[in-house]
Structure 1
């Protein structure tokens, strides 16, 4: 198979005795013959190595509010330039971005942009950060890392929105270039990961512990609650207790609503009451910052002081309201520090979504 301009060499693979090549980016360990792509679709065996076919090509660019990632404790109110590619290394039956993450069509990658051009565009647009999102930066690691390094040269932060399904060496390579991450913790049972995602829970938990214990990356979690599958009190109790013990009580948890999509269209949407119940369980287990998402819930979407209960950051969807933090990021009422990365004043990007065209 001839190498095209967008086919970029990768590091994480090794040759097997039977002549196949194993991709070592994630725990899936795809063993590929010449011309064969991995499950992610964008990493392919060609020229006796594993190549990334999406380098310099994206499914699109858009400026979003950072709260949409969701990140509530990292530069609140600021605009973030978001982009992704195609494919994914999990096979979630409930995928909410299936048109990109499940795509097997190279035409999905319609926008062309190299790392330096993306960094320049983010700076021109006044974005404080760049988000690698929509599918998962793990599968386009080389493209994401090179772009992140180009952004750092311009003082732009980097955010990974990821499922955390990645092997240790590749994990270190990716997250060493990131400043924040929102990890999608899909459930707290291995059975769920195997049945609905074709994956395993343990590697995700290892990624979470690595991020918290061995890096300075700011970490938040998203848990998409699917009726009848991962929303029981018992599972949420176990999950929240684990987060508090292994990641710390200051790690924000976002409990978000499922809507029927992809291969789970026979289920009802998540009732708002389920999200509120999950938030109560999290707080009861000592989680200081628990949120609801994908529903309008000003109380569940706002940030409150864990010590005195004062309102710190008021949110209505992605719009910020009252601001109760001092310039040092402390509660104006009692002086308790709020965990996160805050500017002295909130930005006012609001809920705007701005599609972006990259220069050819």
Structure 2
């Protein structure tokens, strides 16, 4: 299935009176002339209509542990087939996947795969779910939705790793096909979103609240801490307090470490002490489950019972070292249910997938 450039019809757009079209996918509301591409670079006006340039093509496929997404309360220890395309509808100067999200010519690099082929590959490789990741699946929503439906038809779950920069109408269709999402909440100020991401904070907060309260999609949140930009104790306390108040104390929050990349190579890496401090602040604000990532931190990687504080899932990086949940997701010590999605076993064979990373190629 090798789609030539611009031959797949896009959704969520309307014609303007001056001959242009407007994309209705995300809050950027790009207005395009004939031949022009949107800010994401993968949605284009061709012959008076919206066309997609990356449907059916991927920047690569890999089987990962679910914890790498990161998701710590969604079938821990299971495996997930990860893939993405190209482009992004935000312009984060600190992007950690800029070679994919900022790519403008991916034709020679992309693997071709139909939605059914991806679903079949997940089954073949024993993956419990498919992750739409690497770049933001919002910009390839049509491809992600079709693939998610194909996955559900064969019993494979779906996970979105996204910045949730999306309008409500497409969000309804997109998240209806997702079983879990990790939303990248970049920061908690409009100034950060405007200057470092080229976007707005308010639409992301609205989408987070909508996912949490209006969908069946399991939600976890990640905030990448940039030294001197979004890591102040005051901002972290405000972010955590908002999550407790608007989403609930049991929504897991991950603080992850920045490494110098893209257009912010002059910024130092996030010190581990900053992550540990952020975790303490968020816990003090009332969150039950706060994690640290991109560093080795056994305490920050462990899931604790919100009632008796027993260590229920002890992790070393992406490896699970200790597991104290019942089959229905309760603490073995006090029987308190843990928020999340849990199954009868860690993986298909009863063992955790571990820290493996298995690149694969798909048959078309």
- The reply to whether residue 352 of structure 1 matches residue 356 of structure 2 is yes
Is the 1:100–1:108 Cα contact (8 Å) retained in structure 2? Answer: no
1:31 is matched with which residue? 31
Task: Give the unaligned 5+ runs of structure 1.
Answer: none
Secondary structure of the structure 2 residue equivalent to 1:140:
helix
1:53 is matched with which residue? 53
How many positions carry a matched residue from both structures?
A: 358
Which structure 2 residues correspond to residues 198-209 of structure 1 after superposition, within 5 A? Answer: 198-209=198-209
Secondary structure of the structure 2 residue equivalent to 1:227:
coil
Secondary structure of the structure 1 residue equivalent to 2:139:
coil
Displacement of 1:306 = 1.2
Which structure 2 residues correspond to residues 1-360 of structure 1 after superposition, within 5 A? Answer: 4=4, 7-107=7-107, 109-347=109-347, 348-360=352-364
Secondary structure of the structure 1 residue equivalent to 2:314:
strand
Displacement of 1:201 = 0.1
Deviations 1:199-233 (A, max 9, x none): 00011001101101100100000000000000001
Displacement of 1:343 = 1.5
- Whole-angstrom distance in 2 between the partners of 1:6 and 1:151: 25
Is the 1:89–1:139 Cα contact (8 Å) retained in structure 2? Answer: yes
Displacement of 1:112 = 0.2
Range 185-194 or range 337-346, more displaced: 337-346
- Whole-angstrom distance in 2 between the partners of 1:6 and 1:316: 44
Range 62-71 or range 342-351, more displaced: 342-351
- Whole-angstrom distance in 2 between the partners of 1:54 and 1:65: 26
Is the 1:180–1:217 Cα contact (8 Å) retained in structure 2? Answer: yes
Displacement of 1:109 = 4.7
Is the 1:87–1:135 Cα contact (8 Å) retained in structure 2? Answer: yes
Is the 2:6–2:44 Cα contact (8 Å) retained in structure 1? Answer: no
Displacement of 1:344 = 2.2
- Whole-angstrom distance in 2 between the partners of 1:63 and 1:139: 22
Is the 2:19–2:48 Cα contact (8 Å) retained in structure 1? Answer: no
Displacement of 1:4 = 3.2
**TM-score with structure 1 setting the length:** 0.98
Displacement of 1:19 = 1.0
- Whole-angstrom distance in 1 between the partners of 2:342 and 2:4: 43
Displacement of 1:108 = 5.9
Q: CA RMSD in A?
A: 1.1
Secondary structure of the structure 2 residue equivalent to 1:70:
coil
Secondary structure of the structure 2 residue equivalent to 1:106:
coil
- Whole-angstrom distance in 1 between the partners of 2:171 and 2:32: 21
